[in-house]
Amino acid sequence: MNQEAGFLWNVTGPVRDIRLVAIDLDGTLLRSDKNISKRCAAAIGEVKAQGVKVILATARPPRSVRQFTAALQLDTLQIHYNGALIHDPHRARHVFHQPMELTLAREIIRQARRLDPQVVVSIEILDKWYTDHFDPTLPTETSRAFMPDFVGPLEAILRTPITKLMLLAPPERLKLVLDLVKRKFGSQIAVAVSDQHLLQIMHPQVDKARALAWIATHYGVAKEHVMAIGDAPNDLSMLTWAGLGVAVDNAWPAVKEQVKEVVPSNDQDGVAVALERYVLKG
C-alpha cells in the first residue's frame, strides 16, 4: 500500500489517512432522541483504538457535553460554543477562550430589544448560563437538560467578558432580529443559526474551523489528515476546512451543497458509516 498527499492507495482506490475526526453533536452524532447509537459508539471506540483523535465540536457548553465525553471515554480537547471555548475534559480546564467585546454585546441587546421587546436574551460565560427570562417554548440544548444559573436583569452580568450571546424568539420574529443584527453588526460578530428560534452571537473570529485548526496544530495533525462531520450552517466552516468534510443526509441543503461526501442521516448511524468508510477501512 503506497501513501501520497494524505491518502493511502489500495486496489480499490484511495483511502484517506485520517488521524483526527471532529464530530458535531446535535443532528449529527446524536439521534433525534438525543442519544448515541450503539453502532456509532462502537465505531468511535474502534477509531480511538487505532490512535485516531476524536473531537466533539458543538455549540453546547461543557456541562451539556460531559455525559457524552464520559460515555465515549474521550480525553481529547473538545470544541464548545462553536469554537469560542476549547475544553480539556481530562484535566477539567479550559485551554482557549475567545469572549465577545462587552460594549458591542450591550449594544446588540439594546437594539434587539428595541426592535422586539419580547426577545429572550441569554448569556453564557464559560460553563455558566444567565438569562433575563426562561421560556420553555424556546428551548436550547442546554435548557433541555439544565436550569439557568441566574434568571433576572443582566446588567450586572454584562460586566464580565461573555462567551456567547443568544437571542431567542419564534422563527418569524427572530428573522427580523437576525436581519437587524447582520445589517448593523455583521462585520463585528460571528453569527450562528442552528435552530430556527435561536440566534447565537460570538466574537468575530469564532468558528469551528479556527478551533479545529488550533486543536489539529496542538496534536501535530495536518489538515489533510482531518475529517469533520456535521449537519448545520455552524458546521460548514470546519467541513470545508478539513481535508475531508462529510455531511449527514439530514443536513441543511446549503451544507450538503458544499461538501462532496454525504452519509446516511443521524438516525441511520451516519457517523458510524463515515468512520467505517473513511477511517476504519484504511
> Tens digit of pLDDT for each residue in 165-224?
999 999 899 999 999 999 999 899 998 776 778 898 999 999 999 999 999 999 999 999
Contact 182, 164 (CB under 8 A): no
Q: Is the pLDDT reported for residue 142 higher than 80?
A: no
| Ordered structural domains, the chain, with CATH | 2-98+207-280 (3.40.50.1000), 102-202 (3.30.1240.10)
**pLDDT of 72-86, one tens digit each?**
999 999 999 999 999
User: In this structure, what DSSP letter does residue 200 have?
Assistant: E
Q: Is the pLDDT reported for residue 5 higher than 50?
A: no
Contact 152, 133 (CB under 8 A): no
pTM, full prediction: 0.85
Query: If you average pLDDT over residues 96-102, what whole number do you get?
Result: 95
Task: Identify the burial level of 220 via C-beta atoms within 10 angstroms of its C-beta, where 0-12 means exposed, 13-18 middle and 19 or more buried.
Answer: exposed
Query: If you average pLDDT over residues 150-158, what whole number do you get?
Result: 88
Dist. CA 282–CA 274, nearest whole Å = 12
Least confident of 34-48, 77-91, 103-117, 125-139: 125-139
Q: What pLDDT does residue 282 have? A: 52
